[in-house]
Amino acid sequence: MKLLILGGGLMGPAAAYNAMTDPEVTEVTVCDMSQEQLAGCRTMLEGKPGADKVSYQQLNLTERSGAVNMMAKHDAIVAALPRSASLAAVPEAMEAGTPLVDLTRIPDETLVELTTQHEDSSGFIVLGCGLEPGLTEIVARYLAETMDRVDELHIKCGGIPKDPKPPLSYKIVFGGRHLPLREADAYVVENGQLKYVPRYSGAEAVTFDGVGECQAWHEGFMPWLLDLDALKGLKTGTQKTVRWSGYAEKVTALKEMGMLSLEPIEVDGVAVIPKHVL
């Protein structure tokens, strides 16, 4: 099997390592538009078992024909990309007819549009296979299927810096160069139905052994969980992100000031996207 890994940043090398140590995988190609990222990935993998299976190639997803040709040479693709780059990779994989597993997810409206455009494609896309969404839903399903009935499901997930620094006590880990701050409302399940609540609401204190007191707030329940047989009778469901205490209140203030908006505003005659200032 020949696997293509898109992205040589944080998650790409881990995906490549998993692939190159699999005896059923004969070739692994890691692609990134940055030579620096590729060099870093190579350094991480060199000398490890299976490293001789791996090759590295610069690839720009905005050059559609080249990307499609690269994808068509492989049996499957793992996309370890920021969402903005995944929006380019997904339709290209559909055109190439090569299955793609994506660590992120794309907006529902975009998914509907892509499905319509590529309904005759032989490829298929598996979205949301990262940490959250991804591992959290896999674990939730596994646990639900071990029970006779599930009335409530509460998911909490998060990564926090060991040595937090103000003002947010957080650092960029996933998603590129911008903090993962979103303005859109989040799903919860109440009385068996999906409903929207303000993102960053529902803040509660949670304590973890060896870590201390943190805070969890609504990030958004994944709607497809309700399609699972084991969860079709779910009455209450929440999916919260964990950060150091005080995060939700600070980000809510930014949201209320319009600083999370992606809509340009004019400042001294210059168009500025508020969120890009952060």
Domain ranges of the chain: 2-126, 135-277
H or E stretch at 276: helix 274-277
Q: 111 or 75: which carries more pLDDT confidence?
A: 75
72 pLDDT above the threshold of 70 = yes
| pLDDT category of residue 121 using cuts at 50, 70 and 90 | confident
The pLDDT assigned to 124 comes to: 84
Residue 202 structure tokens: 């529902």
Other beta carbons within 10 angstroms of residue 130's beta carbon come to 18
Average pLDDT over residues 91-100: 91
232 pLDDT above the threshold of 60 = yes
User: Is-cis flag, bond preceding 133, omega within 30?
Assistant: yes
The pLDDT assigned to 175 comes to: 55
Which amino acid belongs to residue 160? Answer: I
The architecture that CATH gives domain 135-277 is: 2-Layer Sandwich (3.30)
| pLDDT category of residue 108 using cuts at 50, 70 and 90 | confident
Instruction: Give the position of tokens 């803040």.
Output: 203
176 pLDDT above the threshold of 70 = no
- Name the E strands within the chain: 2-6, 27-32, 54-58, 76-79, 100-102, 125-126, 152-157, 186-190, 193-197, 204-208, 212-218, 236-244, 265-267, 270-272
Beta bridge partners of 210: none
Q: Do the domains 135-277 and 2-126 match in fold? A: no
Range from 56-65, 126-135, 169-178 that averages highest in pLDDT: 56-65
Q: 6 or 87: which carries more pLDDT confidence?
A: 6
Range in 66-70, 116-120, 250-254, 274-278 with the lowest mean pLDDT: 116-120
Residue 257 CA: distances (Å) to CA of 180, 187, 220, 254, 260:
17, 22, 22, 5, 8
The pLDDT assigned to 83 comes to: 81
Return d(Cα 200, Cα 220) in angstroms, integer: 10
Residue 123 CA: distances (Å) to CA of 12, 64, 91, 98, 113:
21, 16, 10, 5, 16
User: Is-cis flag, bond preceding 264, omega within 30?
Assistant: no
Return d(Cα 57, Cα 55) in angstroms, integer: 7
| pLDDT category of residue 169 using cuts at 50, 70 and 90 | very high
The pLDDT assigned to 222 comes to: 92
What CATH superfamily is the domain 2-126?
NAD(P)-binding Rossmann-like Domain (3.40.50.720)
